[in-house]
Amino acid sequence: MAPWLAPHARDVAVAVVFAVSYFVFAAGRLPGTQIRRSAMAVIGAAMIFLLGALPARAAIAAVDFPTLVLLFAMMIIAAALHRAGFFDWIVAVIVARVKPGQLLPAVIFTAGILSAFLVNDVVCLVLAPLVLQIAKAMRRDPVAYLLALATASNIGGLATITGNPQDMLIASVSGIGYRAYLFHLAPVAIAGLFLDWAFIQWLERPMGLAPEPASAGGAGVSRAAGEMAGTGRSAPVPASAISAAASGAALGRDAGRVAPAPAAQPHAAPPENPFPALAPDDQITRRLPRQFDRGMLPALVIVALVLAGFLLGIPPAVAAISGAALLLISRRHDAGELYRQVDWSLLLLFIGLFLIIAGAEQAHLLGWLAGWAESPLLRHAALFTGFVALLSNLVSNVPAVMLLRAPVAHVLHSNRDWLLLAAASTLGGNLTITGSIANFIVVEGARPAANIGFWRYLRVGAPIAIATLVLAVILLHFNL
C-alpha cells in the first residue's frame, strides 16, 4: 500500500504505469533495457500493488481463472503431442507425399487445422523450424511459406475457443459455448484459409522464386519462443529444428562417429529415400517417423476425449484440464518435460495484464473507452471491426482484447457482437508483425536464415487481413 500518496497523485502514478506498460506491449521492449512484454506485465502489476491502487480481494477477482486454466491445459496437451512425435509425423507425411508445387497449400491447411484445435502460438513454435528447413530442402525461398504459416495459424485459430488466447478470454467473458463458436466462426476460418492461399500465391509467387542453397535454419527459433510474450528468453527447441548442414552430426545418437568413406563400400546401393519430395542430399528429416507410431495413440485418445468434452458442452477449462491431468499422470510422459514446454511467460503476461487493467479501472482511467463503447460507432459492424483491428496492431491482439473486455462487456448484447470482436482481433492480427504473438514467433525465429521485415510482411499481411475481415463481417452480419 502507499498511504503517503494522495488519491490524485496515486491516480497519476497508475496512469504512468498503464501508459508505459502499453507502450512496451506495442514496441516489444522498453528502449535501452531488456524489459519485454511479460516482464513489463509483472513490473506493472507489482507497481499497481505498490501504489495501493488495487486491494488484494479486487486483484483476485480481476483474474479470469478459467482462461488461465484453459490456456495452461492446452499448452500441456500440445506439449504431450509434441513429445509423442505427432507433429513430426504430420510433417513426415507432408514431406513424403507433397510435391514442391503443393507445399504452400499443405503448409496453410496444416497450420490452420492444427491451430483450430491447439493454441496457434504453440503450433507456430513447433512448425516454424520444420517449414523453414523443408522449404529450403525443396529449393524454395522459405519466406512465402513462413508467411503462410503465420497468417494461416491466425486464421485457423479463429475457428474454435482453443485456437488462441484472446478467443479463450472472449469465450470466458461472453459465455459462448464451444459448439456455437465453432458453428459461426469455423466457416469464416475455412474460407479465410482459401483466401490466404490465393493472396500468398499471387503476391509471393513461391513457384517462381529463385532457389536458395540449403543453409542453417531454425537457429533463431529458441529466441522466438521468448517472443511469444516478448521476453527474449530461450525455450526448448524441437529436435527437428536443426540446420541441414548439421543434421548428420546432430540428429542421431551416433553423431560423434565417423561415417565410412565411400571407397569402403564401392558396390553399396544408395539408401532408399523415404521422403521422395526431398533430394537425397537434403535428408534433414531423418528422425521424422516413416510410419504412424502407436506410441502416439494414448495422447491422441486423450485429445479426442477432450474435444468430445468440448462438443458435449463441458466447460472448456474443465475438459482441457482433465485431459492435461491424465497426460501428466501417464507413465508415457515425463511431467517435467511437459512443464518445460509450457510458455510460462505468456501466462505471466495474462496475469499481469489482468492486474494492470484492473488498477487502471480503479483509478478511473478507462472512462474514454466506456464512452466510446456507448457511442453509435460500436453499433456499426464495419467501423467496430476496423477499430478493433487497428488497436490489435498497435498493442498486439491479446492486450487489445484485455483492454476492451470490461468497457464493451455491458454493450455487446448478442453473441454476434462478441464473435465480431473475436474475428476483428484475430484476423486483424495478420495486418502487421505486431498484430499477433504468432507473427513474432515465426518472423523472429526465422532470422537470419530468412529475413522478413516489417514492410515485407505488411505487403502480404494487409490484403489478407482486410479480405478476411470483410468476409467475417459479411458472414456474421447475415448469420451465414
Distance CA 445, CA 133 (A): 12
Contact indicator for 398, 421 with CB cutoff of 8 Å: no
Q: 385: closest CA among 400, 395, 371, 399?
A: 400
For residue 11, being part of any structural domain is answered with no
**Whole-number pLDDT of residue 197:** 95
What pLDDT score does 445 carry?
A: 78
384 found inside a domain: yes
Domain membership of residue 45 (yes or no) is no
Structural domain contains residue 363: no
Instruction: Provide the domain limits for residue 120.
Output: 64-255+270-343+369-477
How many structural domains is the chain composed of?
A: 1
Q: Is 256 exposed, middle or buried (0-12, 13-18, 19+ CB in 10 A)?
A: exposed
Residue 101 lies in a domain: yes
CA angle 403, 368, 395 (to 5 degrees): 35
Whether residue 102 lies inside any domain: the answer is yes
pLDDT of residue 370: 64
Q: Extract the C-alpha cell encoding 179.
A: 459448439
- C-alpha cell at position 234: 530461450
Predicted pLDDT of residue 290: 55
pTM, 2 dp: 0.80
Whether 376 is covered by a domain: the verdict is: yes
Tell me the pLDDT tens digit for each residue of 189-221.
999 999 999 999 998 876 544 444 444 444 444
Separation in Å, CA 175 to CA 322, 336, 380, 405, 448: 20, 33, 23, 13, 43
107-154 per-position pLDDT tens digit: 999 999 999 998 999 899 889 988 888 887 788 888 999 999 999 999
**What span, in angstroms and rounded, lies between the C-alpha atoms of 93 and 171?**
34
Number of H helices, E strands in the chain: 22, 0
Whether 115 maps to a domain, the answer reads: yes
Closest CA to 370 of 421, 410, 398: 410
Q: Backbone phi, then psi, for 108, in 5-degree steps?
A: -60, -50
- Residues in the chain predicted with pLDDT less than 70, given as ranges, are 1-5, 206-295, 368-378, 409-411, 413, 479-480
pLDDT of residue 376: 67
